[in-house]
Amino acid sequence: MDDIKVCGVIRDSGACGLYRITQPLKFLAEEEGMDVAIGGVEFKSVEFKTDLFNLLQECDVAIIPRVVSEKTLQLIKVLKDMSPRKKVIIDYDDNIFEVTPFSTHYRDFGTREVSHNNIKIWQDGKDLFDIQRNIDNLNLAKEALRIVDGVFVTTPILADVYSKYNKNIYTLPNSLDFNIWKPSNLVKDDKVRITWHGGSSHYEDLHEIGGELTNITNKHKNVKIVTCGHEFKGVFKNIPSDQYEHHGWVDVLAHPYKQILLNADLAVIPLKDHKFNYSKSPIKWIEYSSLGIPCVLKDIHPYSNLVIHGITGFLYKTTEECEFWMDKLVEHPSLRKRIGDAAKEYVHEHFDAKKNSKYWSEAIKTIMEEKCLSLQ
């Protein structure tokens, strides 16, 4: 097959753009020899191109993040009309049909009004929330899914969700660049740091174990809770100020973010039993584990089918179990090391972006070779 030129479109420099576009395409160029461009930056020539549409015209394969507007749908149609050779792929890392009301994405995809604690948090026609527009958004997404040549997703559950609209589904898990994600030999103090990081969509998740985190800090005065991302002040209101530390949003590869993780002794990853959460990528566990940080995780997808309880992490079904395993890890440094080392070994074996670039390459080549089988 002739050289394939791939263009990936990124909306921002956050984790989604990094793990789903920038990093995979970087390794496609370095390991698979493909000619790639990302959001106007062409890796082979390190040439900056300001006209993204021209870049998309020149490529054979365009990878576009989830469709949320008529403008993006029209772009896909224009690209598909350019040449029979040109292929368009949509990448999805969330289930847009089951967005939790606590996610900011609910503003774009929510289709009902929502109240919480007798307060209406989503009301049609207020704060840019428009139910009819969101129904239209979902219909746009379905139309785009039907006409593209392939769909990339992060998990098998997402593959099942989107296979209703397109048969060319490729599950390509999030992976890490281990030249960047590696442990350090930091000299730590006597504090045991329990970390959590995430966005506003995790309100219910974190709120569920707020009491257990408070109990741990009351029992162990050397424990400090360290969070990064969205701050849920109400969850930590009963934790002494000298045992709580919060960092705002920082770039996923920035020094402060990695330093927060590198300083951590263990991590907690709560998830409510919700269809939106089932579809999530296990990227948090992957990030923590790559640095040898042991985790306590909710026993649901995406962790229940991946983490081996007592070997590569501790899974919990109840909040009492969550507190129990956090307590054990706080009290036993050797247990933290054993679990962290095993998880790190597993992650390095299965979630290496450099090694996994071959799967991206195979998916792209298959799409280039096959006639689109999209549902009509």
In a shared domain, residues 14 and 142: yes
- 198 and 91 part of one domain: no
Q: Read off the amino acid at residue 5.
A: K
Task: Extract the tokens encoding 134.
Answer: 């969101």
pLDDT at residue 14, rounded to an integer: 65
pLDDT at 295: 98
CATH, residue 134: 3.40.50.2000
Same domain, 17 and 160: yes
Domain limits for position 92: 5-101+130-175+352-369
CA dist 220 and 240 (Å) reads: 12
End-to-end C-alpha distance for the chain, whole angstroms? 28
Backbone Cα Rg of the chain: 22
Q: Give domain status of residue 118, yes or no.
A: no
Considering the domain architecture, whether residues 90 and 20 belong to the same structural domain is answered as yes
3-state secondary structure of 85: coil
Q: Rounded to whole angstroms, how far apart are CA atoms 90 and 73? A: 11
Please tell me the distance from the alpha carbon of residue 49 to that of residue 134, in angstroms, as a whole number.
33
Output the six-digit token pair for 206: 């974190």
Question: Nearest 10 degrees: CA dihedral of 34, 36, 42, 45?
Answer: 10
Among 16, 29, 188, 200, CA closest to 93: 16
Report helix, strand and coil shares of the chain as percent, to nearest 5: 45, 20, 40
Is 109 a member of any domain?
no
**Bond into 302 cis (ω within 30):** yes
H or E element: which one contains 193? Answer: strand 192-198
Whether 249 and 296 map to the same domain: the answer is yes
Per-residue model confidence (pLDDT) at position 42: 42
Please tell me the predicted confidence (pLDDT) of residue 259.
65
* 93 falls within a domain: yes
Please tell me the total count of domains within the chain: 2
200 and 325 part of one domain: yes
Strand, helix or coil for residue 58: helix
Q: Report if residue 108 sits inside a domain.
A: no
Looking at the structure, tell me whether residues 266 and 313 fall in a common domain. yes
What are the DSSP calls for 147-191, one per residue? HSSEEEESSHHHHHHHTTT-S-EEE----B-TTTS--------S-
Pair (216, 158) in one structural domain:
no
Tokens of 41: 């930056």
Element (H, E) at 213: helix 210-219
- Domain co-membership, 281 together with 314: yes
Co-location of 52 and 161 in the same domain: yes
pLDDT recorded at residue 38: 79
**Whole-Å CA distances, 265 to 55, 180, 346:** 45, 19, 19
**Would you state the pLDDT for residue 248?**
79
Say if 182 falls within a structural domain. Answer: no
> What pLDDT was estimated at residue 220?
97
User: Is 52 a member of any domain?
Assistant: yes
Residue 186 lies in a domain: no
pLDDT at 104: 82
Shared domain check, 162 and 25:
yes
- The CA distance from 341 to 346, in Å, is 9
- 285 found inside a domain: yes
Transcribe 40-54 into DSSP letters: TEETTTTEE-S-HHH
Q: Helix 210-219 crosses helix 319-331 at what angle (to 10 degrees)? A: 30
Tens digit of each residue's pLDDT, the chain (376 residues): 568 999 998 776 567 788 898 899 999 999 999 999 877 444 443 343 447 778 888 899 999 988 767 888 888 999 999 988 899 999 999 999 999 898 888 998 999 999 988 889 999 999 899 999 999 999 999 999 999 999 999 999 999 999 999 999 999 999 999 988 877 666 677 899 999 988 777 888 898 999 999 999 999 999 999 998 888 888 889 999 999 998 877 666 655 466 667 789 999 999 988 888 899 999 999 999 999 999 999 999 999 999 999 999 999 999 999 999 999 999 999 999 999 999 999 999 999 999 999 999 999 999 998 754 433 3
Query: Do residue 250 and residue 157 come from a single domain?
Result: no
Tokens of 223: 């424990």
